[in-house]
Amino acid sequence: MTCPACEQAAKNPHCGSYRMQCLECCARLVLSAHPSKPQAASLLAAIERFPQNPGREQVLACVAQRLGKPRSAPAKSPTP
Ligand SMILES: [Zn+2]
């Protein structure tokens, strides 16, 4: 599930090439903004403007996976 831009990025993480139709690329792009939420949100908005983009939900799920925080995980309340 990779594209030429993903392969390029694997060899050279700073090449900055992304394909907005590729879920891996979208996740990589959003993660590049992490942990800035406003920046990540604006990148997500930009991704959504591309035709055939994987969709916000898919991208967010992939980003969460990369961060090791599956969205389906049972939430433990940190508040006392
Ligand atoms: Zn890609």
Q: With b meaning 16 or more CB within 10 Å and e meaning fewer, what string describes 9-48?
A: beeeeeeeebbbebbbbbbbbbbebeeeeeebeebbeebe
Distance 4 CA to ligand 1 centre (A): 6
Q: Which tens digits make up the pLDDT trace of 23-64?
A: 999 999 999 999 999 999 999 999 999 999 999 999 999 999
Residue 70: pLDDT band (50, 70, 90) is low
Tokens of 14: 């700073």
Q: What is the pTM of this model?
A: 0.80
pLDDT value at 73 more than 70: no
Residues less than 5 Å from ion ligand 1, measured at CB:
3, 5-6, 19, 22, 24-25
Calculate how far, in angstroms, residue 18's C-alpha sits from the geometric centre of ligand 1: 6
- Asked if pLDDT for residue 4 goes beyond 90, the answer is yes
Is the pLDDT reported for residue 1 higher than 70? Answer: no
Distance separating alpha carbons of residues 40 and 47, to the nearest angstrom: 10
